[in-house]
Amino acid sequence: MSSRVTADLPASDLVRLTTSGGASAKEVVEASLDRISKRDPGLNAFSVVLADEARADAARLDALIAEGGQPGPLHGVPVAIKEELDVAGCVTTFGGVANSTPVSVDGEVVRRLRQAGAVIVGKTRMPEFGQWPFTESVAGGVTRNPWDRSHTPGGSSGGTAAAVASGMVPVGLGGDGGGSIRIPSACCGLFGLKPTRGRVTSDPMPHLWWALGTTGPLTRTVLDSALVYDVIRGNLAGDRFRAPEPETSFIAAAGADPGKLRIGWSTVPVTKGVKPAAEHVAAVHETAALLADLGHDVREVDPRYPDPTAAFIPQFFGGVRAEADAMEHFGRLEKRTRETYRLGSWVSEAIVEKAMAAGDKVAERANRVFDEVDVLLSPVIGPRPRRVGALNKGGTIAMSLKSRPMVAWTALWNVTGNPAASVPTGIAADGLPVAVQLVGRIADETTLLSLSAQIERARAWPLLTDSSAR
C-alpha cells in the first residue's frame, strides 16, 4: 500500500485495513511519518515528532494481531496531541518554554487513545497557554494553514488542525476554551465538535480554565470524530465537571438519521459590533437552504444572546494565571503572557467562583433559544482567516482586540457548556475553507453528530490535495 493512499484515508478506513490484513500498523505509521517529514517543514504543525516511539508502538500492535489478540477501535491509527496534554516522556510545554521536565505518565485521554490502539506520532503547536485564536509563539514560531501558507490555521489548536488538514495524521486532539477546536477547524476545512462541558475527563487537572475548557478531536470526517469521542469520553473521580451519559454511542449517532429537526439560523453575533464576512453569511444561508431541502423545519431566529463577558473574562485570566503558576520557570514565559498574568491579578478564586455562577445565569438565558429550535445554525468566525503574523506586535489588550472577531460566535458556548460543532461547507474564492457552526442543547452531541453527518453526505466537503495547497 502506498504511503500517499494510507496517509489520506480517514481513521475509520485505516482501522478496517489494520484489523483485516489490508495494511499493517507499521505501514500506516510509516506513511504518517513520511508525510510529516515532507510537509511539516513548510507548515510547522509539530513541536515534537515521536518517530522511534511510534514505530515501536506499531510493532507491538502488529504483534498483537499476529498472536490473535483483540484489536482496539483505533488500531494502528496515527494521532497527534496538542502541547497542553500530557504525553509520557514529553515536556508539557503549553506552547512555551517555561517547563523543562518530561512528564512520566500519559494524561487520561492519551492513555485511553493508546489503550484503543492509537499510535501517538507527536505533539502539535499552540500559542502559549492557548490564549489566542492564532497559532504563533516566540518559542514555536508561526504555524501555517495548509490551504494557503500565508494565512493562519486559527488557534489555539492550530498545530493539530494543520497536521490533520494536510493529511499528516487522520486525527489530532485539541482543546477548546473559547473556540479553540472550532476556530481552527473552520480555518482548515475540518470537522471539530466541542463537546458538552464534562463530557471528556480533564485529568490530571480537576478542570480546564474552570468551566470553559474541554478536550476533543479535530478530524476530516464526522465518523472519525464520533469514533474518537467514544474512546475518550467519560470521567474520573477528580473531575470537577461531569456530563450525563448519552443514550447511544456517538458512532451510532453519526450513522443515524436525525429525523425532522427544528433548526434556527442567525448571523447576529454574540459580540456586538462584529460583522461576519460575506462568505460566512452566504454559508449560513446556503446551509439553511440545504437543511430545508433535507426536510427540516428551518427558520430565522433571534437568539437574544446574553453577554458572556462577566463570566468569561475572569475564567480566562484565572486559567492563564493558574497554568503560569504551575510552570517550572515563570521567568521564561513570553512577555505578553506575563502581561496577561499581571492584568489578571485581581482574579481571586472567589471571583472565579462568582464568574462561574454568572455563567450559569448566562447559560439559562442562552438556552432559551432551544425552547423554539433543536439546533442553532450560525457562523463560526467573523473574518476570513487572517494572514500570519497576528502576534508580531501588541500586548494583551491589542491581542484581545484582534481576537474579538474570531470568537464572536464561539466563546458563549464555552461559558454555557453547550456542545457546538464547526462543519465545513466548501472553499471560498480566496482558496480557504468556509464553515458554519451548529449548536445543540446541553448533553446533546448525538443530534449534532447525526445532523452533521447528514450534511456531510448531502454536500461532501472538499479535502486538501497536493494540487489545492498553496
Residues tagged active-site: 82, 156, 180
For cell 491579578, name the residue. Answer: 345
Contacts of 76 (CB under 8 A, 6+ apart): 14, 15, 17, 18, 19, 23, 24, 25, 28, 29, 58, 61, 117, 119
- CB contact at 8 A, 54 and 121: yes
Q: What is the CA 294 to chain-centroid distance, rounded?
A: 27
Bridge partners of residue 183, in order along the sequence = none
Determine the Cα–Cα distance for residues 321 and 399; give it in Å rounded to an integer: 17
**Residue 47 DSSP label:** E
Nearest of 209, 182, 199, 222 to residue 409 by alpha carbon: 182
For residue 193, the one-letter residue type is L
Name the burial class of residue 304, with classes exposed (0-12), middle (13-18) and buried (19+) by CB atoms within 10 angstroms of its CB.
exposed
User: Residue-wise over 222-249: b if at least 16 C-beta within 10 A, else e?
Assistant: bbbbbbbbbbbbbbeeebebebeebeeb
> Cα torsion for 138, 406, 190, 429, to the nearest 10°?
-110
Determine the Cα–Cα distance for residues 446 and 361; give it in Å rounded to an integer: 25
What totals of helices (H) and strands (E) does the chain contain, helices first? 16, 13
User: Residue-wise over 364-385: b if at least 16 C-beta within 10 A, else e?
Assistant: eebbebbeebbbbbbbbbbebb
Determine the Cα–Cα distance for residues 79 and 170; give it in Å rounded to an integer: 7
- CB contact at 8 A, 187 and 154: yes
Which CA distances in Å does 108 have to 111, 197, 208, 358? 5, 17, 14, 30
Determine the Cα–Cα distance for residues 373 and 447; give it in Å rounded to an integer: 12
Q: Residue 62 is inside which H or E element, if any?
A: helix 51-66
- Whether residue 3 is preceded by a cis peptide bond, meaning omega within 30 degrees of 0, is no
- CB contact at 8 A, 163 and 41: no
